[in-house]
Chains A and B, each alone.
Chain A
Amino acid sequence: MDAFLLQVLNGLDKGSAYALIALGLTLIFGTLGVVNFAHGALFMLGAFCAVAFDKVVTAERVLLDPIKKTPWGTPLEVRVPYAKVWFGDAGEWLIDYSVPISLALAVPVMMLIGVAMERGLIRHFYKRPHADQILVTFGLAIVLQELVKAGFGANPIPMPAPSSYQGMADFGALIGMEPNTVVYPTWRLVYFLFAAAIIGAVFAFLQFTTFGMVVRAGMADRETVGLLGIDIDRRFTFMFGLAAVVAGAAGAMYSPILSPDYHMGMDFLVLSFVVVVVGGMGSLGGAVAAGFLLGILQSFASMNEVKQILPGIDQIIIYLVAVAILLTRPRGLMGRKGVMES
């Protein structure tokens, strides 16, 4: 039972990452009709916003040690973070909490990147064939990741969670089980809550604001909305920025779980497309549902008991489920008719 519950928890935790990435992608892909191969790169950029922020707050004052030398003969460097020098304890707190605080940097930066991308590039491709969209966004993704590589190197960069969130939380006790039966890393629970909050916020925004209503109308029939004298283009630009923010925030908060490196976006790219399509094109709810579904299934497929019967099942489960769902439900879980079918 404990093992089962742990695996469910793990599935939800994985699923929250999948759902967040898919949510951003589906805002662009399922609604604006743009095949955005740079979405993984946006996720990666978000993670590197956290890295950059961390680098800034941990920027060190470098002093040269007068006596000690390195093995190659130069004076040993003594490094003290400026933040600590200037702000003392507050500086230390800033360094400790750099990941969540970096959201304050990631959100505006990603919004800017998203808007710039849409204005400068993507809007010229709305009417172009999907093939062209793939080529241009894939090219962009490569350029972005190579720039990050040139700046930060190819090695993963460790990004610790705030120290008070590094341990394990007794999840079992929270839901009334015996203490210490189901414990789970605190930061992963935080990530789950964070994902739930973001997903809820995006849905509420689209559902309950006038802006969201117009956007939804625009998705359904762009031309008519345009004829009504509403500037749908600007709203779509904002939507693109929003998608970038969702991807970027997801990446920034994920950095303590997966040490960021320049290539992480590509690893998530294929997966996020699978999730979006399994969820059904044009359906935000579908993308979220598919994210959690695939996360949980993947978690269970990795259990030793399952792997003993079906070796290697954990490696293909996502694709297997994708095939099964697409064959039984022609438009994925909740897809709409006519979106991206030709």
Chain B
Amino acid sequence: MSDKLIVSRRGLLKTGAAAGVGLAAPMVFSRPAWAYTNEPKGKSVIFGFNVPQTGAYADEGADELRAYQLAVEHLNGEGDGGMLNTFSSKALKGNGVLGKKVEYVTGDTQTKSDAARASAKRMIEKDGAIMITGGSSSGVAIAVQGLCQEAGVIFMAGLTHSNDTTGKDKKANGFRHFFNAYMSGAALAPVLKANYGSDRKAYHLTADYTWGWTQEESIAAATEALGWETVAKVRTPLGAGDFSQYLTPVLNSGADVLILNHYGRDMVNSLTQAVQFGLRDKIVNGKKFEIVVPLYSRLMAQGAGDAVKGIFGSTNWHWSLQDEGSKAFVKSFGQKYGFPPSQAAHTCYVQALLYADACERAGTFNPCGVVEALEGFEFDGMGNGPTLYRADDHQCFKSVLVVKGKENPTSEFDRLEVVDQVPAEQVTYPPDHPMFAGGDLGKCNPGA
């Protein structure tokens, strides 16, 4: 029985000798066996895919998992290589990462912060995952990001749209490729102005939790800058199901645009019901009443069916894009699974590749090396044009898609059409923008 003492390889240890005080001081125990948390010692390296497998986002989670499996294949040199062929960085050779074969473990976030953290901890403590990635909601992303910072592993966020993820809750070990609520507003505003004019009265229905609030704030700011007036901002409980009691007041409010700051099932239901309430056939103030859904996803559009027709929104990526990267990804995903990938699948696939590439370029799996390699990294060929991973907040800056519900879909996957690809400059904001203020990246934490 050989004993070794690992001083908190699971977490940042800043405990001093002074009793009861968490101070920065070196520990007096024996030398740690790891240079950083879960340093891969064998022939393989383990990625942790933490996605919602039960609950409302289960289908999105399943699609994320498909994308990850594809990414692992491509990293290990199986399949057609997908976006590795179009990715501007050529560090990855299709022989794993740093010569180690990529393996993975999976877990269920249940779209609950507690369960997501428990699942991530399991992957870190038991399975030895070197990084955690995935997720389909901002609450979970922020909770898991915090955990990864403490544990000393990298977190590559999946689908998370709240400003806070790379704003007030940003962490040095966390990175987000997905776009955010501010970018949605900035990208949508010109399109809304061109289509609906600058004299509009907007009525917000907002999911009553952090993500909803940041989106409401972002969209209201962007539309008010156009000259729109915000008539009301109404908060609706998560999972309300029937939103009719929030829709009836809209009818006589004098508003002529309804903005639905909902996601997932809430969005499917509120949009379907808003259309049912005849809002789209109304004429108010001499103008046709319009509905806007700032954050779209293809899966949600599928759930809402015909209700999405003609409705504007923004999305991170869509499979109908015609650049080389998107085409390569859609091709290998479609061949493997028989249908096109969702935007959640895309962002997760890209995140896995970006992480692997950063390790390869850094020459190490050490989180601090990876952070350095990703900070300020510029790349192309991943489906959104030239992209920057900004060092100040670990947010990707790239083009954002403005989409519209298609009038004549040819299949259940063909619900959205891309109206505009808004270039990155137009959605870029200073790191100290008030909507993102109050956070601190802190220092990268390698654990151990």
Contact = CB atoms under 8 A, between A and B. Distances in A.
Contacts of B272: 158, 259
A158 B319 contact: no
A342 B55 CA distance: 34
B304 interface: yes
A231 B56 CA distance: 44
B335 A72 contact: yes
Interface in B303-361: 303-307, 319-320, 327, 330-335, 338, 340
Contact of A160 (B245, B306, B327): B306
Instruction: Give the 10 A-B CB pairs with smallest separation, nearest first.
Output: A72-B334, A158-B305, A154-B58, A168-B278, A156-B303, A302-B245, A155-B59, A299-B245, A154-B59, A315-B237
B273 interface: yes
Interface stretch (A2-10, A26-34, A276-284): A2-10
B335 A73 contact: yes
Interface string B157-173: 00000000000000000
A155 B252 CA distance: 32
Nearest to A14: B242
Interface of A: 2-3, 6-7, 9-11, 13-14, 17, 70-74, 76-77, 79, 149, 153-158, 160-161, 166-168, 183, 185, 187-188, 256-259, 261, 263-264, 267-268, 298-299, 302-304, 307, 311-312, 314-315
Given A6-B252, A157-B303, A71 B330 contact: yes
6 contacts: A2-B252, A7-B249, A160-B306, A168-B277, A168-B278, A303-B245
Nearest to A262: B58
Size bracket of the B interface: 35 or more
A74 B232 CA distance: 49
Nearest to B244: A10
Contacts of A302: 245-246, 249
Contact of B331 (A73, A155, A304, A315): A73
A267 B245 CA distance: 17
B277 A185 contact: yes
Contacts of A79: 411
B248 A6 contact: yes
B208 interface: yes
Given A71-B327, A315-B237, A13 B58 contact: no
B241 A264 contact: yes
Contacts of B95: none
B148 interface: no
A117 B332 CA distance: 46
Contacts of B335: 72-74
A94 B182 CA distance: 45
Interface of B: 55-59, 62, 208, 232, 234-237, 239, 241-242, 244-246, 248-249, 251-252, 265, 268-269, 272-273, 276-278, 281, 299, 302-307, 319-320, 327, 330-335, 338, 340, 410-411
Contact of A267 (B235, B241, B330): B241
A314 B245 contact: yes
Given A74-B334, A258-B241, A259-B272, A156 B306 contact: no
Contacts of B306: 158, 160
Contacts of B319: 71
Contacts of B320: 71
* Highest count of chain A CB atoms <10 Å: which of B244, B265, B305, B307: B244
Given A257-B276, A263-B55, 15 more contacts: A6-B251, A7-B248, A71-B327, A72-B332, A72-B340, A155-B299, A155-B302, A156-B304, A188-B276, A259-B268, A259-B304, A299-B244, A299-B245, A302-B245, A307-B235
A98 to B, nearest CB: 13
A26 B244 CA distance: 26
A183 B305 contact: no
A261 B265 contact: yes
A3 B59 contact: no
A257 B247 CA distance: 13
Contacts of A161: 276
Contact of B237 (A187, A257, A268, A314): A314
A158 B412 CA distance: 11
A178 to B, nearest CB: 14
Contact of A263 (B56, B305, B331): B56
B241 A167 contact: no
B239 to A, nearest CB: 6
Contacts of B303: 155-158, 259, 261
A29 to B, nearest CB: 21
Nearest to B303: A156
B269 A259 contact: yes
Given A2-B252, A7-B245, A77 B234 contact: no
B298 to A, nearest CB: 10
Contacts of A267: 239, 241
A299 B244 CA distance: 8
Contacts of B410: 76
Contact of B269 (A11, A156, A166, A185): A156
* Highest count of chain A CB atoms <10 Å: which of B237, B252, B278, B299: B278
A168 B275 CA distance: 10
B203 to A, nearest CB: 10
A298 to B, nearest CB: 6
A303 B304 CA distance: 25
Contacts of B249: 3, 6-7, 302-304
Contacts of A153: 58-59
A261 B302 CA distance: 13
Nearest to B319: A71
A139 to B, nearest CB: 16
Nearest to A168: B278
Contacts of B56: 154, 261, 263
B95 to A, nearest CB: 25
A168 B410 CA distance: 28
Contact of B242 (A7, A17, A76): A17
* Highest count of chain A CB atoms <10 Å: which of B251, B276, B319, B338: B276
B265 A156 contact: yes
Contacts of A314: 236-237, 245
Given A72-B330, A72-B335, A160-B305, A257 B248 contact: no
